[in-house]
Structure 1
Amino acid sequence: MYHSVGDCSDDPYRITVTPERLERQLAWLRRRGLRGVSVADLLAARARGESRRLVGLTFDDGYTDFVTEALPLLRRWDCGATLFVLPGRLGGDNAWDPLGPRKPLLTADGIRHAAAEGVEIGSHGLTHVDLTRADQPTLEAEVAESRARLAELTGTRPDGFCYPYGTVDARAVRAVRKAGYAYACAIDPGALTGPHALPRLHIGQNDTAWRLHLKHRLHRWRRRPVKGL
């Protein structure tokens, strides 16, 4: 799980990695015979029994630096990724973060450019609302309307959803499933499991080679198998 790629000198939420760090991390994967792919490609490969050397890479929020900084590095290292965007904040910024710098978000053209480059586009909701605290109309709008807007924007209905803040409960899972998403990503879904409650591993600026190795080992030890996959 990545977010922004750029200057991380002012990064109170630890959501940013520098382009240099991202490149080292991608190189670390490739040296081990691994390749980053979108979550949709990872799940499809898993269904065929061919996912052993693949790693799903996700980028949350849809910052403009995904296109300017991350995408060239993904191409250089022959990796794919899923970009979770906010169609209700096109061309805006990360107003939901009270601390830290304002980071610009992709416009509609930027999202279409990423999609044309082979990046999977998924929904991160409309406006980055904690769905576990949202009332039912807001929950349904954030989930279903965001899918409809992205379908109109890209010409393809997104298969993937990413819970804002990584928080998820059974009600949010039901709404995402009802809206037609094939899968959804959280961070630590607790007792929830299945394709609509996929756990992810946060990767940050401090993750050097040995930390990546340790995180990988601990992640495999801590997570229960995802039922239904």
Structure 2
Amino acid sequence: MPAATALRSLLPKPPLWVKPPLWVAMYHSITDPADDPYRVTVSPVRFARQLHWLADRGLRGVSVRELLAATAAGCAKGLVGLTFDDGYADFLDSALPLLRRHGFTATVFVLPGRLGGENAWDAAGPRKSLLTEDQIVRIAEAGMEIGSHGLTHVPLPEAGDELLAAETRRSRELLEEMTGTPVDGFCYPYGKVDPRAMHAVRKAGYAYGCAIDPGPHTSTYALPRVHIGEGDTSLRLAAKRVLHPLRRRHPADLVTAPLGPARVGAP
């Protein structure tokens, strides 16, 4: 019996009224993982194997925008959301070719206030280059979804009103000017989210928000994601896929407000 099947057989069955959860994978940098104390870097070799693992099981990696649209249409079976936080420049040369080889898409959350800069917020980690405007446009033209990770990578619950508006509304405006296409997705820096931050994201015009483990805040504006790292072999990926439904509820079960961006001036 395959390990994943054996593990699933030992777990309690979820109630019939609980919908299958969205499975959204969270990546960051695709390059040499040495000297990364935060464990957010995956080597190109490991990443290639992880994509093969998905493809071999009939799963297809897609952007969060596509995943949510398919879910609303009732045809999301076999789809896995792929996201990349922080807007690292290595996405262009290391991740994009592998994604295109499989016919996969992904959502890349970038920082328009740090174009061509470095990940200065990771004090203990290696310095890594961030995407430039030209690189972001090239990624969008390759069929990837571009989303906002804020303007400069600050925790939104700790931001004052003016900074919160810049990190949400202004970052979206800049990215839409840059790409010439709507920017629907927002990703909370550090995964930190609270009702005030969620309201700001919705009021800024985004259609959804990605978090990490938002707990009681789980909704379309705080979607949970599964961290994927260098140590995630086939066995670990199978286990994460099995265990994920037991820790999350489907966003549609938790959202009480209408989906879509809030109207300007709405409470």
The amino acid that maps onto 1:50 is C
Deviation at 1:193, TM superposition (A): 2.5
Deviation at 1:132, TM superposition (A): 1.1
Whether 1:92 aligns to 2:117 is: yes
1:89–1:126 Cα contact (<8 Å) kept: yes
1:115–1:121 Cα contact (<8 Å) kept: yes
The corresponding residue for 1:162 is 187
In the alignment of these two chains, the number of paired residues is 229
Extract structure 1 runs of 4+ deviating beyond 6 A: none
Share of identical aligned residues, percent? 64
Structure 2, unmatched stretches of 5+, are 1-25, 260-267
Out of 153, 163, 176, the residue aligned to residue 138 of structure 1 is 163
Cα deviation digits, residues 178-225 of structure 1 (max 9, x gap): 001000000011101221010000000000000001111111111122
The corresponding residue for 1:78 is 103
Out of 149, 152, 156, the residue aligned to residue 177 of structure 2 is 152
Find the aligned partners of 1:88 and 1:156 in 2 and give their Cα distance: 18
Find the aligned partners of 1:61 and 1:201 in 2 and give their Cα distance: 16
Find the aligned partners of 1:157 and 1:89 in 2 and give their Cα distance: 20
TM-score (norm 2): 0.84
Whichever of the two has the greater Rg, that structure is 2
Which has the bigger relative contact order, CA under 8 A and spacing at least 6? 2
Cα deviation digits, residues 66-92 of structure 1 (max 9, x gap): 001000000111110000000000000
1:148–1:157 Cα contact (<8 Å) kept: no
Structure 1, unmatched stretches of 5+, are none
Find the aligned partners of 1:116 and 1:86 in 2 and give their Cα distance: 18
Find the aligned partners of 1:173 and 1:98 in 2 and give their Cα distance: 27
Please give the root-mean-square deviation of Cα atoms over the aligned residues, in Å: 0.9
Secondary structure at the counterpart of residue 53 of structure 2: helix
Out of 7, 11, 16, the residue aligned to residue 36 of structure 2 is 11
Whether 1:47 aligns to 2:72 is: yes
Cα deviation digits, residues 88-119 of structure 1 (max 9, x gap): 00000100110121000010000000000000
Find the aligned partners of 1:2 and 1:56 in 2 and give their Cα distance: 11
Cα deviation digits, residues 21-66 of structure 1 (max 9, x gap): 0000000001110000000000001111000110000000111100
Find the aligned partners of 1:203 and 1:144 in 2 and give their Cα distance: 29
Whether 1:113 aligns to 2:100 is: no
The amino acid that maps onto 1:196 is Y
Find the aligned partners of 2:86 and 2:247 in 1 and give their Cα distance: 26
